[in-house]
């Protein structure tokens, strides 16, 4: 009977792309594999000694079965497998589960190699950056058995298809030799219960460890675990600092075993099968940097030209030393320039006799900072593009809307209004006035660098001028566009700025709803079917016409129809009304089919929309 299988050689195959997805999940765990590391510092080590210290456990896991490919050699001994226990992957046939997906061609053997021989296995790498001077790094020469804690034993050479085995290799693109991977030999053994380690060289603060998969389980999701140890150099203690690690697939080798073999082997393969979507994360912190510092002061962030004095409280651990420093000759440390544990720093700010403002910083242990801005004696200065809405920072203004004005020397004091129901709104605070289109604007807040004002109802649409006056000095007129609408929804910036998250209100309970991480007042996320109140500014005219000169508590219905866009839905408000100077209330009902997650939200008035990048958190 004729052989039903025929080998078809592939001539000069070339890999031209990579899958744009991640085939690996990564984790950085503590040495005992009982939890993650500190997100800011990794393993907090204090000062290192010359004996290697367990730092972390690196874990590479497949996102799907078969993501990790093995190097296979079905007829000869090689690292990790020896006759007669040679393991053939993905039987039947000789189209082995190779990393490249391309294997040696030819019928029969070629220089002792057979069709289907893989040239290398999947390579997993860890790149360490910003390693403090004087630190030595060590990693195991193979993966840890059973993916256990860092102090576990090394994996044994594979003897069956259920074994997992990977070895430390000399580099991410170094080709494998005849029948073996380019393995690294151990340089130190910790003890009988710990793995043999190899030191990885650190060049300009960067070190790379690469392990090659020699054998994998053909069933299920595979995980390879590798430890990291650190010590100080023999020449002295390690410097202070924090170093991150990135974990990913390594690129495939770009050459075959040798030139002659390469003529018969697969083409060069410069690309990995998967995109590198890794992110850096702290893995170790050495020395006093292991101490965390914070500071607080009731000193204003902006001070007038006359100067002043203040105190900065330092919070840290009892054994943590710190020092304070100023970067400006006019900003002086007067007491507490250094200390150990919690303490206080006294400082003073000189008088500024120049017309311009200036900025200075007091640093504590190079971790915590107090920023001081001081105004000058000159006229107020409105910064370019410094006239915006106060919630989403959209440039421009609209009649009846709140506006924030940023600049220098805007005021010599910091003061807020103290309105009473039915009272006339103040158009002067601390001697400061703002003219918009020639009309005095009510002021809610003044400070040397920021003024919040209510745009008078009489301001016309188009190009208008804004002028800030401080005593006998006035700013240059700044032209800005006045619009019928300048909508913005009340929201707070997230740590991932410029993303904003809306805080809404449950009208039946008064609870705040939204993102509990961004706004600590929030009780829960919004649910599908909830009726909620949004708060907004810049929604335009009302019926009857609203006033902008008194502190009212009446309600004025919004004249224009609009929609609230939430995720995939367009929602007509239950009602929308002005309930106080410049503040609108918009009630909506969240659709029952609203998807869970952070849903984009904006107001669509037909001719204008509120800012993008604003989200409302929805959960079932």
Q: What is the pLDDT of residue 274?
A: 47
Which pLDDT score, from 0 to 100, does residue 308 have?
87
Judge whether residue 116 has pLDDT over 80. Answer: no
Percentage of the chain lying above the pLDDT 70 cut: 69
List residues bridging with 294 in a β-sheet. Answer: 315
Distances (CA, A) of 250 to 271, 273, 488: 9, 10, 47
Asked if residues 168 and 175 have their Cβ atoms less than 8 Å apart, the reply is no
Question: Does the structure show a pLDDT above 80 at 157?
Answer: no
pLDDT of 260 over the 50 cut: no
Q: Is the pLDDT of residue 302 over 80?
A: no
Q: What is 382-483's CATH topology?
A: Immunoglobulin-like (2.60.40)
The better pLDDT of the pair 118, 531 is held by: 531
- Indicate whether 10 pLDDT > 70: no
HSE-CB of 281 using CA atoms within 13 angstroms: 18
577 pLDDT above the threshold of 90: yes
Among 207-221, 278-292, 394-408, the least confident range: 278-292
Q: How far apart are CA 180 and CA 435, in angstroms?
A: 81
d(CA 98, CA 70): 6
Q: Which DSSP letter does residue 261 get? A: H
More confident residue, 194 or 478: 478
Instruction: Please give the structure tokens belonging to residue 459.
Output: 């301001």
Q: Which pLDDT score, from 0 to 100, does residue 584 have?
A: 96
Class of domain 488-618: mainly beta
Three-class secondary structure of residue 570 per DSSP: strand
- Cα–Cα separations (whole angstroms), residue 427 to 161, 430, 546, 554, 556: 81, 10, 18, 21, 23
Residue 612: is its pLDDT beyond 50? yes
SS3 letters for 404-453? Answer: EEEEECCCCCCEECCCCCCCECCCCECCEEEEECCEECCEEEECCCEEEE
Helices assigned H by DSSP within 165-314: 259-264
Q: What is the DSSP string of 337-355?
A: -EEESSEEEEEEE----SS
Q: Which of 44-48, 169-173, 350-354 has the highest mean pLDDT?
A: 350-354
* CA–CA dist 439, 465 (Å, integer): 10
Helices (H), 110-149: none
For residue 609, the model assigns a pLDDT of 93
pLDDT at 180: 56
pLDDT confidence of residue 245: 79
Beta strands 368-374 and 302-303, pairing class: parallel
Fold equal for 291-374 and 382-483: yes
Q: Where are the domains of the chain?
A: 34-290, 291-374, 382-483, 488-618
In three state form, how does the secondary structure of 243-256 look?
A: EEEEEEECCCCCCC
The pLDDT of residue 381 is: 86
pLDDT (0 to 100) of residue 363: 80
Residue 444 CA, chain-centre distance (Å), reads 35
Tell me the pLDDT tens digit for each residue of 184-236: 877 776 544 445 788 999 888 889 998 888 777 656 678 888 888 888 775 55
Which tens digits make up the pLDDT trace of 390-400? 998 889 999 99
What does the pLDDT read at residue 572?
96
pLDDT for residue 53: 80
Distances (CA, A) of 71 to 58, 205, 216: 22, 32, 9
Q: 18 vs 123, which has greater pLDDT?
A: 123
| pTM summary value | 0.47
Comparison of pLDDT for 333 and 267, the residue scoring more: 333
Q: Determine whether domain 291-374 maps to CATH 3.40.50.720.
A: no
Nearby residues of 262 by Cβ (< 8 Å), 6 or more positions away: 255, 256
Residue 545 has pLDDT above 80, yes or no: yes
DSSP state of 547: P
């Amino acid at each position: 009977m004729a052989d039903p299988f025929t080998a078809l050689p592939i001539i000069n195959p070339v890999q031209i792309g990579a899958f744009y997805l991640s085939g690996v999940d990564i984790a950085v765990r503590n040495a005992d594999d009982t939890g993650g590391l500190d997100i800011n510092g990794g393993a907090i080590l204090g000062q290192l000694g010359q004996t290697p210290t367990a730092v972390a456990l690196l874990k590479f896991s497949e996102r799907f079965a078969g993501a990790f490919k093995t190097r296979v050699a079905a007829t000869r001994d090689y690292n990790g497998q020896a006759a007669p226990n040679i393991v053939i992957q993905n039987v039947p046939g000789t189209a082995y589960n190779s990393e490249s997906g391309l294997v040696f061609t030819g019928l029969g053997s070629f220089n002792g190699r057979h069709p289907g021989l893989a040239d290398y296995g999947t390579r997993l790498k860890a790149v360490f950056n910003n390693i403090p001077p004087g630190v030595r790094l060590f990693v195991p020469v193979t993966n840890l058995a059973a993916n256990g804690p860092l102090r576990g034993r090394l994996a044994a050479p594979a003897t069956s298809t259920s074994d997992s085995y990977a070895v430390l290799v000399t580099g991410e693109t170094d080709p494998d030799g005849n029948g073996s991977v380019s393995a690294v030999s151990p340089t130190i053994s910790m003890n009988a219960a710990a793995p043999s380690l190899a030191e990885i060289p650190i060049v300009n603060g960067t070190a790379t460890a690469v392990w090659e998969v020699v054998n994998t389980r053909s069933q299920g999701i595979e995980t390879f675990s590798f430890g990291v140890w650190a010590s100080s150099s023999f020449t002295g203690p390690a410097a202070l600092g924090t170093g991150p690690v990135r974990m990913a697939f390594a690129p495939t080798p770009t050459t075959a075993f040798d030139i002659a073999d390469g003529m018969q082997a697969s083409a060069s393969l410069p690309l990995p099968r998967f995109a590198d979507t890794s992110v850096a994360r702290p893995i170790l912190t050495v020395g006093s940097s292991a101490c965390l510092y914070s500071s607080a002061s009731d000193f204003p962030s902006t001070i007038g030209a006359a100067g002043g004095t203040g105190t900065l409280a330092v919070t840290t651990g009892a054994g943590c030393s710190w020092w304070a420093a100023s970067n400006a000759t006019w900003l002086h440390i007067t007491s507490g320039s250094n200390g150990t544990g919690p303490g206080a720093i006294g400082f003073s700010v000189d008088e500024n006799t120049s017309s311009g403002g200036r900025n200075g910083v007091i640093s504590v242990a190079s971790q915590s900072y107090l920023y001081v801005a001081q105004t000058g004696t000159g006229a107020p200065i409105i910064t370019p593009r410094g006239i915006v809405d106060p919630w989403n920072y959209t440039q421009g203004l609209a009649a009846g809307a709140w506006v924030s004005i940023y600049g220098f020397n805007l005021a010599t004091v910091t003061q807020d209004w103290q309105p009473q129901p039915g009272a006339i709104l103040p158009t002067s605070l601390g001697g400061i006035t703002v003219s918009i289109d020639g009309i005095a604007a009510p002021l809610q807040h003044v400070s040397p660098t920021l003024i919040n004002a209510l745009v008078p109802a009489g301001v016309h649409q188009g190009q208008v001028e804004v002028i800030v006056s401080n005593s006998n000095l006035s700013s240059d007129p700044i032209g800005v566009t006045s619009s019928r609408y300048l909508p913005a929804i009340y929201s707070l910036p997230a740590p991932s700025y410029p993303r904003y998250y809306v805080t809404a209100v449950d009208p039946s309970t008064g609870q705040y709803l939204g993102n509990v991480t961004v706004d600590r007042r929030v009780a829960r996320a919004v649910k599908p079917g909830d009726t909620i109140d949004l708060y907004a500014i810049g929604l335009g005219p009302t019926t009857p016409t609203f006033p902008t000169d008194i502190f009212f508590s009446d309600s004025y219905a919004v004249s224009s129809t609009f929609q609230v866009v939430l995720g995939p839905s367009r929602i007509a408000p239950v009602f929308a009304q002005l309930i106080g100077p410049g503040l609108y209330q918009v009630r909506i009902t969240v659709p029952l089919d609203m998807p869970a997650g952070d849903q984009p939200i904006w107001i669509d008035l037909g001719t204008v929309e509120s800012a993008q990048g604003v989200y409302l958190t929805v959960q079932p």
